[in-house]
Chain A
Amino acid sequence: MSDTLEGTAHGNGSAYGSQPRKEDARFVRGLGTFVDDLALPGMLHGAVLRSPLAHAKVVSVDASAALAHPKVKAVITGETLAQRGMAWMPTPSHDTQAVLATDKVRFQGQEVAFVVAEDRYAARDALELIDVEYEPLPAVVDARQALSPDAPVVRDDRPGQENNHIFDWESGDAQRVAEVFAEADVVVEQDMLYPRVHPAPLETCGIVADMDPVSERLTVWSTAQAPHTHRSLYAQLTGIPEHRIRVIAKDIGGGFGNKVGVYPGYVCAIVASMITGCPVKWIEDRSENLMSTAFARDYHMRGEIAARADGTILGLRVRVLADHGAFNATAQPSRFPAGFFGVFTGSYDLQAAHCAVTGVYTNKAPGGVAYSCSFRITEAVYLVERMVDLLAGELDMDPAELRMRNLLRPEQFPYDTATGWRYDSGDYPRALAKALELAKYDDLRAEQAARRERGELMGIGLSFFTEAVGAGPRKYMDMFGFGMADGAELRIHPSGTAVVRLSCMSQGQGHETTFAQLVAQELGIGVDAVDVVQGDTDHTPFGVGTYGSRSIAVSGAAVVTVARQVRERARLIAAAMLEVSPDDLEWGDGRWFVRGDEELGYTLAEIARVAHSSFEPPEGVDAHLNAVTVYNPPNLTFPFGAYLCVVDVDPDTGQVKVRRFVAVDDCGVRINPMIVDGQIHRGLADGIGMALMEQIAFDADGNHLGGSFMDYLLPTALECPSWELGQTVTPSPHHPVGAKGIGEAATVGSPAAVVNAVMDALRPYGVRHADMPLTPAAVWRAIQGRPLRSDVAIT
């Protein structure tokens, strides 16, 4: 491991380390440029008419009154799009999604028509003038009813589709699992729901589309986490050649997977610009965001865990019913219909494991993979960490001790799991021991015992997670047919400053700083001397974007690779300048110098100046310091961590107070630890949100019950304790600087810790399990032995 890191040795001055984010200079002044800040001359405004019903036949759409509105320029309906062959669009999961409904509406909030007007107000007014006749149909709302023979068929548009079944997917060895279960002393079984939640970024989705009728070039500004993929999809949909489409993502106010996909509103805005010849802006409102764009989770899971009486875990068996909504639009590597749920064996040494996932259509919004889920690892970690706690309860064993006994040992890495993943590196017991020590675990248990004596409910919850990020290699992983590799491009200017161009795109993660630090570290130049360009398809190399925590794991590796290429090219030029062989040069302290004579050498800036001067380069050496690459990850990286949560519960009101949260993360080498901590803080807050308050439920007619921030609650600072962070550093052996990625780790790991803590608090009442979100009502009902269902309306 240490040899891979040697290349980054940098004398005394390291470019790594906590430092303020470059991008914050504009953000804290309110000078970021978000898509809604854009105002182009002659720009028109779009608004989407949405279905009030969850399932209905569209009998007719009459837009004549809207068209008569003096400020309305166009109304686009399903029919307009059908004439252009654009009424449907492909999804990343081998399905199609209606852009505007032609035959039926399939979820409440589905796009039915698009009005283009001179201003936002008129566009919104005109929506009320469109007359749609619907013929209501019964809706499939409860995923558990979706496969019943009398369930209405959501996708009768699909040839041969006679029910709501989408896919069956399996992983692991069912036979082996049956064998180890037969040998087991204990088997614990539990049903659990990971409810439908929403990433709810502060900035909703939006676009400005500008089709220039003269140059026939389409420019799109949008909130795109994956600008290059969007461009390719727009080319495919509109027939405009890819080189005449430019997708620009300016600053993005949070994504969390919500902004990976292409939404109908984007396509409508593009068509509207093509029709009117004017730029068209469409900015989603909050309710539209919560009701129609990529939701997350909605996994109905049944886990069974088998163990020996001494606590040795033998096997795990999982059944999942996955609610994908009305269109299978989950944004995940296309050969993985259940994302990376296959890592459900977690951090433990299991002899056998098997899962079977069934995906179904329902009359709900499409999505499933979003909200920092790391392609469904949130669900997988929640499942296994709840099961381990249930097993501890059954065996009457301390959950920390049970975990310690079963965690993978450091000498087992690289470790091949029972479901076919190769974990790269880790020292799990060390991380868990550190978390227990930080929390003063033994003292907490003693305090809990004393409180229980007094009838007070205190709970301590643990969770140990293994993440899998940086999907690759490309031969196994693609999105929309694009291999999940990332390009990077680096240019050194004559003065020795640099511009690095990324294929990924920040939504707040601090790419402008972290990636500058990566380049600075490799080249021995200042972090301020490196400009980071991202989010513009005309100015960045191709790549699949920022999501799944992949930026450092994949784009980061690409950037380091390209910087090392530039460094090698600098070596050739330096050798010519010094009239020695390149082999005689050594790199150190940001200079190439003659081995044995440190005085004789040049910095990168000196080499750059000479490279662009009248200096005659040796034959075969192009005198520039530019490079371009594409990085194809050999494997994923596997960050991990140990979390511990302490809660107090009021049994009479059901209120949960999170008192403490200890998080020990190992994400390999940390480039900017301050940014890493910030990412962890966010993910921990997510975990509290999901565990205690976030949910989207539907009533029996398919009405969405979480369509505003009054109904869909996000946690505030007051629900968050002062986070207690710790770390261990286990470099990834195959990443060029040993980094693993941190974007989603805390979101993946934290919900289970909170739920385990609440369940631990409720143990005196004999409560084994209650589904998230653990609202006051849900906790009280769990104590009463009558748990609430969180996917349907409370009655």
Chain B
Amino acid sequence: MQVPAQFEYERATSIAHAVQLLGKYNGAGRLIAGGHSLIPMMKLRLARPEVLIDINEVAELGGISRVDGELRVGALVRHTELLDDDEVAQLFPILRDAEKVIADPIVRNRGTVGGSVCQADPSEDLSAAFSALRAYAVVQGAETQRIVPLRDFFVGPYETVVGPGELLVELRVPVRTGGSSAFLKVSRRAGDWAVGAVGAAVWLDGDVITEVGIGLSALGARNFVAVEAEDFLRGRSVSADVLGEAGRIAAEHCDPPVDQRGPADYKRHLAATLVTRALQLACRRAGREV
């Protein structure tokens, strides 16, 4: 059994308390939510936090709600909760699609939405899905609360804008009618991280794409999104050729990492294929067969 290095443990009881504890340990404390990223890293001793600040009992961080035209997903919402929520599935099918293929039920029972995006793993599926939806992150510090577009949230691999004294409170997704969304993933096996995954959200006026979001995971897309393909699509009429071209544009702007999941040429091809297919599925769900 792999065993972590020594650490201290604190249990936060509220958002304010968590922020206070983060301040108290001044950079040496690390939040722990589901622990499904952090604990494996600690066991491999790739992470050695001096203090773990457990937020699992902070009720304020939980819950999914609809407020003022936004879907609010608490940082501590477990993967399973998001997966099982019918309203979420109806508003944003992309989220249920993604949750179905994230890890396995054991991980999904504990792993959280907040932990997933804060981990900022370049292969994280939710980062791509919520970025496609242009979600906002609510970040709480000792003094202030910031609302950051998720597309500006990721600084780089395993790095976000959340400062050492801050925590993520929730994600907010603007609810708009007239569209739909989808998420597709290719992995080597059920429960495995993506070889490549793509989420797409489209809003249509008749045939015309009025707004679109494309998120990519594990494919080396900057900030998890395909901005160039989105720009290309906006204002165009849906057709097989147009969606195919969007795939090509997205692939061109990816810089896929080369690893045992595949070489760059394959992953680039996969980016194009999945972008096109996810757009097709989203359009079909929005009532426009391609």
Contacts and interface: CB of A to CB of B under 8 A. Distances in A.
6 contacts: A695-B260, A705-B260, A718-B189, A776-B266, A777-B261, A794-B263
Interface residues of B, number: 28
Given A655-B186, A794-B258, A780 B6 contact: no
> Interface size for chain A: under 10, 10 to 19, 20 to 34, or 35 or more residues?
35 or more
Interface stretch (B58-66, B171-179, B191-199): B191-199
Nearest to A285: B2
Given A285-B1, A776-B186, 17 more contacts: A120-B1, A121-B3, A652-B269, A654-B186, A692-B189, A693-B189, A697-B260, A710-B193, A711-B260, A713-B192, A718-B191, A719-B189, A776-B262, A780-B266, A781-B266, A794-B262, A795-B258
A285 B188 CA distance: 24
Contacts of A653: 186, 270, 273-274
A737 interface: no
B262 A775 contact: yes
A718 to B, nearest CB: 4
A777 B1 contact: no
B166 to A, nearest CB: 29
Interface in A766-795: 775-777, 780-781, 784, 788, 793-795
Nearest to B263: A794
A125 interface: yes
Contacts of B191: 716, 718
A392 to B, nearest CB: 29
Given A121-B3, A287-B2, A653-B270, A718 B190 contact: yes
Contacts of B274: 653
Contacts of B44: 287, 708
A286 interface: yes
Nearest to B274: A653
Contacts of B265: 784
Most chain A CB inside 10 Å of its own CB: which residue of B6, B259, B263 = B263
A286 B3 CA distance: 11
A793 B6 contact: no
A776 B195 contact: yes
A285 B2 CA distance: 6
Contacts of B259: 794
A620 B202 CA distance: 94
A11 B260 CA distance: 59
A776 B6 contact: no
B242 interface: no
Question: What 3 A-B pairs are tightest by C-beta distance, nearest first?
Answer: A777-B262, A718-B190, A777-B266
A715 interface: yes
Contact of B189 (A697, A715, A780): A715
A226 interface: no
B5 interface: yes
A269 B186 CA distance: 44
Interface in B108-149: none
Interface string A698-719: 0000000110101101111011
Contacts of A655: 186
A124 B4 CA distance: 9
B30 to A, nearest CB: 19
A654 B270 CA distance: 9
A72 to B, nearest CB: 15
Interface string A628-671: 00000000000000000000000011110000000000000000
A283 interface: yes
Contacts of B186: 653-655, 776
Most chain B CB inside 10 Å of its own CB: which residue of A652, A653, A716 = A653
Most chain B CB inside 10 Å of its own CB: which residue of A713, A718, A719, A788 = A713
B190 A716 contact: yes
